[in-house]
Amino acid sequence: MRTIFWKDCLWLIDQTKLPEKEELIPCRRVDELVEAIKRLAIRGAPALEAAGAYGVALASFEREFSGLEEIRQYLVEKAKLIASARPTAVNLSVGVEKVLKRALEGNSIEEVRSIALREAERVAEEDIERNKKIGGNGAKLLEDGDVVLTYCNTGRLATVDWGTALGVIRSAVEEGKKIRVFACETRPLNQGSRLTCYELMKDRIDVTLITDSAVGIVIKKGFVNKVIVGADRIVRDGFFNKIGTYTVAITAKHHRIPFYVAAPKSTFDLSRTSEDVVIEERGAEELIYCGDKLLAPKDVKVYNPAFDFTPLELVSAIITEEGVIYPPFNF
Amino acid sequence: MRTIFWKDCLWLIDQTKLPEKEELIPCRRVDELVEAIKRLAIRGAPALEAAGAYGVALASFEREFSGLEEIRQYLVEKAKLIASARPTAVNLSVGVEKVLKRALEGNSIEEVRSIALREAERVAEEDIERNKKIGGNGAKLLEDGDVVLTYCNTGRLATVDWGTALGVIRSAVEEGKKIRVFACETRPLNQGSRLTCYELMKDRIDVTLITDSAVGIVIKKGFVNKVIVGADRIVRDGFFNKIGTYTVAITAKHHRIPFYVAAPKSTFDLSRTSEDVVIEERGAEELIYCGDKLLAPKDVKVYNPAFDFTPLELVSAIITEEGVIYPPFNF
């Protein structure tokens, strides 16, 4: 099943419910989609690209319009709202733009709608094709018997299907290589334990869960020999990804094991450097509570950035749908 | 209030209940103490030394004996049980041995009991004195305006009172220096968020909570300029401490900020190297559940070591009650 798809309206797997249950939620209005994005019911840079794309289609269907100008203006307005639902991932606005640009070329309300939906479906299809290409390119870097450490979730749940960094592992396994995985839990929202373990176990790929802080010991003990992560935004001097990626990269470098990044070209934003990107800060409650359990004093001060930046000097290779890029990274 | 004390029987603050409530639990039998140690109701190397010491006293009082040989044999037997409640911290057996040796010199059941209790009280008193000395010695390494990153809990709750690494911060603050603290949550049992934040807020010391994985970003951004941690066992080539300490040490080294260890001399076990120490592995449920909340598939494979090893080359100084030891560490 795809993470996001259109059937009469837009449907998403509510990832906040996993691994307890795989629940589909319908979005019939842009507001519902934006809320779902904000509360991370859907997350992962490539999945957000599809969400952005489908969001524009959703805007075209969510109400009646009296004329062409009205639907065009409405789409432009809603496109901004969707694109700004989360500030760090570039893919959300890439998806929005892809569909908006074409949809505005429609010459009737009906044409705008059908173009928007067709283009959104194309974005979703292309994501899957692209991920399979990333997987195929990256699989060449994995050998039979490798044990790969991964961070956060970069699997089918982070994309429309297949995954980026996990897609590389999937492709290697599909080629017949025996690959084992160590998954970091990825605090504070535990995408690693909740989503990555869930996906890999479903696919019968051998996975061991560790705390984020156990990265040092598992690398030192030689339990893992390679690291693969995804990326939310690749800029000229490095890349942004889930908070903690940077610490993993430093640890991999210290032990001289390869540290690979797998991401589609749409993640590249080479007009910018790390200085130009705002890192989203999320609420204190993500660290203070876990479900109903109180993990810290209620009024404690918290610094909770959603992402961190890893400079290129810690990266061994970047795997994209077009091939593998090695240092020096002459983008 | 002390973390552990004797009043008719042995009393402990149940640290698994914090920060929700500060609840005292009585131990009237050695079995209850061992269970409390195993489930981490009391933890922290120096507090475990006192627990070991009081445990022997408890053994002498928990039942009637028909003669001197019987109580002596019983103490020897229970001493082994207490000392093996947790395998990695050397302090537990140090505390047990200190009291056992003296108690066995008693020439009547009553004398064995009174020596055991007196010696246990002395171990507890000495811990506090020692921590104040560690604090005073370490405070010289902290300057007015420093922002210190710390890991796990090394405060009064990890000791009888005052603390080791947090004791250094307390002593510096007591001397009038303005010190701010970043506390890592310390997964999977969140001693950082539950205990360190709780203690520091009670003492009105400025503390900010972060995920363990945010260590990289806060050091890189210059939010912290020094790291202080405790130690569970210091051996010839480095030290064992809470899982994650090693990753923090690598990150501090990468950014060339000081990484200090604060621990009493009883933590030193220089007849051993890292090769000789068994790292305790704890249950999978610590990562799979948080309270009632399911964080991972129920049957996921988990690697959950309680400690990791940090080699001496990553350590800037070791602070003890006898002074500060700098590299090269000629123990």
> Any idea where the domains of chain A sit in the sequence?
4-132, 142-325
B72 to chain A, minimum CA–CA distance in Å?
A: 42
Mean pLDDT estimate for chain B: 96
The band of A331, judged by pLDDT with boundaries at 50, 70 and 90, is confident
Q: For B199-256, what is each residue's pLDDT tens digit? A: 999 999 999 999 999 999 999 999 999 999 999 999 999 999 999 999 999 999 999 9
Cβ contact, residue pair B244, A309, below 8 Å: no
Instruction: Give contacts of B300 with chain A, Cβ < 8 Å.
Output: 193, 197, 201, 207, 209
Average pLDDT over residues B289-303: 95
Chain B residue numbers with beta carbons less than 8 Å from the beta carbon of A300 are: 193, 197, 201, 207, 209
Q: Please list every residue in chain B whose beta carbon sits closer than 8 Å to the beta carbon of residue A210.
A: 287, 302-304
Which residue among the candidates A232, A237, A269, A292 is catalytic per the annotation? A232
Phi, psi (deg, nearest 5) at residue B99: -80, -40
- The active-site residue out of B127, B161, B232, B269 is B232
d(CA B279, CA B159): 21
Q: Is A18 left (phi over 0), alpha (psi -120 to 50) or beta?
A: beta
Interchain contact, B251 vs A253, CB within 8 Å: no
Percent of chain A having pLDDT more than 90? 94
Q: What is the pLDDT of residue B126?
A: 95
Give A288→chain B minimum CA distance, Å: 8
Q: Does residue A3 carry a pLDDT above 90?
A: yes
Residue B89 has a pLDDT of: 65
CA distance A327 to A67: 53
Question: Closest partner residue to B209 among A186, A253, A302, by Cβ?
Answer: A302
> For the residues B36-41, what does the mean pLDDT come to?
95
In CATH terms, the superfamily for domain A142-325 is Translation initiation factor eif-2b; domain 2 (3.40.50.10470)
Q: Is the pLDDT score of B287 beyond 80?
A: yes
Rg of chain A (C-alpha set): 20
Beta strands across the sheet bearing B259-262? A301-302, B207-210, B180-184, B147-150, B226-229, B259-262, B317-320, B323-325
Share of chain B above pLDDT 70, in %: 100
Is B203 part of the annotated catalytic residue set? no
Domains A4-132 and A142-325 share a fold: no
Which pLDDT tens digit goes with each residue over B184-201?
999 999 999 999 999 999
Closest CB to B214 among A19, A20, A244: A244
Q: Which residue out of A247, A255, A285, A287 would a mutagenesis test of the B interface target, given it has the greatest number of B Cβ atoms within 10 Å?
A: A247
What mean pLDDT comes out for the span A9-29?
Answer: 95
Report yes or no: A254 and A246 within 8 Å, Cβ to Cβ: no
- Check CB contact under 8 Å for A217 and B193: no
Q: Is the pLDDT of residue A283 over 70?
A: yes
Measured CA distances, B243 to A207, B121, B208, B230 (Å):
20, 31, 20, 12
Question: Is the ipTM, as predicted for this complex, more than 0.85?
Answer: yes
pLDDT value of position B331: 83
Question: Against a cut of 0.80, is the pTM above it?
Answer: yes
Q: What percent of chain A has pLDDT over 70?
A: 100
CB spacing of A209 vs B301 below 8 angstroms: yes
Q: What CATH topology corresponds to B4-132?
A: Four Helix Bundle (Hemerythrin (Met), subunit A) (1.20.120)
B73-101 pLDDT per residue, tens: 999 999 999 999 987 767 899 999 999 99
Return the percentage of chain B with pLDDT > 90, whole number: 94
Pairing mode of beta strands A238-242, A207-210? unpaired
Asked whether residue A88 carries a pLDDT value surpassing 80, the answer given is no
Distance from CA of A18 to the nearest CA of B (A): 8
Q: Please report the pLDDT score of residue A23 as a whole number.
A: 94
pLDDT, residue A89, reads 65
